[in-house]
Chains A and B, each alone.
Chain A
Amino acid sequence: MRTPPRLATGVLQRLGHPDDAFIGDLAEAFRAGRSRTWYWRQVLSSVALIFIHDAAQAPVRTLGAATTGWLTALTLFLVLGDATRDVLSQWLFGWNWLDAVATQLWWPLPIVAVLVSYIGFALSGCAVATIHRRHAGSALIAYTVSVPLVLAISAAAVDVLTRRHGHVSGPHALFYTVSVALPDQWRSGLLLAPAVTLVAGLFACPRRSAFEHLRPEI
């Protein structure tokens, strides 16, 4: 008996339509000869439709989910960003500030800063899925969609301010947020940051059990 793609089923159980009968229908159609491409298309369309449905039904909750993610990320960067950077630099490269001042060896810093950025995005994705547990899928998608949008706007603002003033000053926490979307990181964060956020958040998303959607709202 053909087994439906496990990864797709896992995504469906966390982000898609919260109905066991729906998952059963997909499995039955797949075993009757539908292709893996068809299965994946059904799963992704389910994720998109559920997100659009939830966002239309509860726009405030959707915005709240994205806000939760950004507040978590900024708080993490603000409170733990530099400390994490220093610990990682020491651990990965044996680098510390005192030696760096003496030797003027600064190259490990930008590398570790990138790691700190992605750790922050991953943890904020987990936080959104955990805090908005009941609508974890839609909440996570809302935050994930907001990540490249906010990064692109922030990077554009940095570009404009740099052209006008030669430099940009601001709270250090913002550096970890926007640095991955800047040219010296090849703007890789516009793709990687939402991907990291989504994948990490998926691990924190509860798998929906049968008929959970029939339980009353708490």
Chain B
Amino acid sequence: MADRFLTDFELLVMLAVLRVRDDAYGVPIARAIEEHTGRTVTLAAVYLALERLTQHGLVSFRLGEPTPERGGRAKKFFSVSSGGLDAVRRTQRAFVALWTGIPELKGARP
């Protein structure tokens, strides 16, 4: 999946994972997307996107320790792989290339 472009939601999830860094599990990832975009997201949508990205090798995860406030369930910490970073950059370049040269969008920062 070397040349894969990300969907808009996958891009949001990847950027949120990169932004949250070491604490990148479901709750903070969803919160980061909501805080920065104003868009309400469900955790299930975030997990489905992460599962897809993991299958494509763009994201990897490690399991944390189970905690009582989570009902004894472990956290799944996600991180973006080097292939994932390439996919983000490639998608950004595609967006910027499409963005530039549109008179109606002149002056707006991509």
Q: Of A20, A27, A49, which one neighbours B69 at CB under 8 angstroms? A: A27
Contact residues, B44-93 vs A (CB, 8 A): 44-45, 47-48, 51, 63, 66-71, 73-76
Does B96 sit at the interface, judged by CB under 8 A? no
Q: Of A1, A24, A29, A50, which one neighbours B73 at CB under 8 angstroms? A: A24
B28, closest chain A residue (CB): A25
Q: Taking each of A23, A25, A50, which has the highest tally of chain B beta carbons within 10 Å of its own beta carbon?
A: A25
Residues of A within 8 A of B75 (CB): 21, 24-25
Does B94 sit at the interface, judged by CB under 8 A? no
The smallest C-beta distance from A101 to any residue of chain B, in angstroms, reads 58
Residues of B within 8 A of A46 (CB): 42-44
B72, closest chain A residue (CB): A24
Q: Say whether, besides A17-B48, A19-B76, A25 and B70 are in contact (CB < 8 Å).
A: yes
Q: How far is the CA of A29 from the CA of B68 in the complex (A)?
A: 13
Tell me if A's interface is mostly helix, strand, loop or mixed: helix
Q: Of A1, A24, A45, which one neighbours B44 at CB under 8 angstroms? A: A45
- Of the four ranges (under 10, 10 to 19, 20 to 34, 35 or more), the interface on chain B belongs to 20 to 34
Residues of A within 8 A of B48 (CB): 17, 49-50, 53
Q: Say whether, besides A49-B48, A53-B48, A21 and B73 are in contact (CB < 8 Å).
A: yes
Do residues A24 and B47 form an inter-chain contact, with CB atoms below 8 A? no
B44, closest chain A residue (CB): A46
Q: How far is the CA of A28 from the CA of B42 in the complex (A)?
A: 15
Q: How far is the CA of A28 from the CA of B47 in the complex (A)?
A: 15
Residues of B within 8 A of A161 (CB): none
The smallest C-beta distance from B62 to any residue of chain A, in angstroms, reads 11
Q: How far is the CA of A31 from the CA of B63 in the complex (A)?
A: 21
Q: Taking each of A16, A17, A21, which has the highest tally of chain B beta carbons within 10 Å of its own beta carbon?
A: A21
Do residues A45 and B47 form an inter-chain contact, with CB atoms below 8 A? no
Residues of A within 8 A of B42 (CB): 41-42, 45-46, 49
Q: How far is the CA of A1 from the CA of B68 in the complex (A)?
A: 10
Residue positions of B touching A, CB distance < 8 A: 25-27, 42-45, 47-48, 51, 63, 66-71, 73-76
Residue positions of A touching B, CB distance < 8 A: 1, 4, 16-17, 19-29, 31, 41-42, 45-46, 49-50, 53, 210
Apart from A17-B47, A20-B74, what 8 extra A-B contacts exist at CB < 8 Å?
Answer: A1-B69, A4-B71, A17-B44, A25-B70, A28-B67, A28-B69, A41-B42, A49-B42
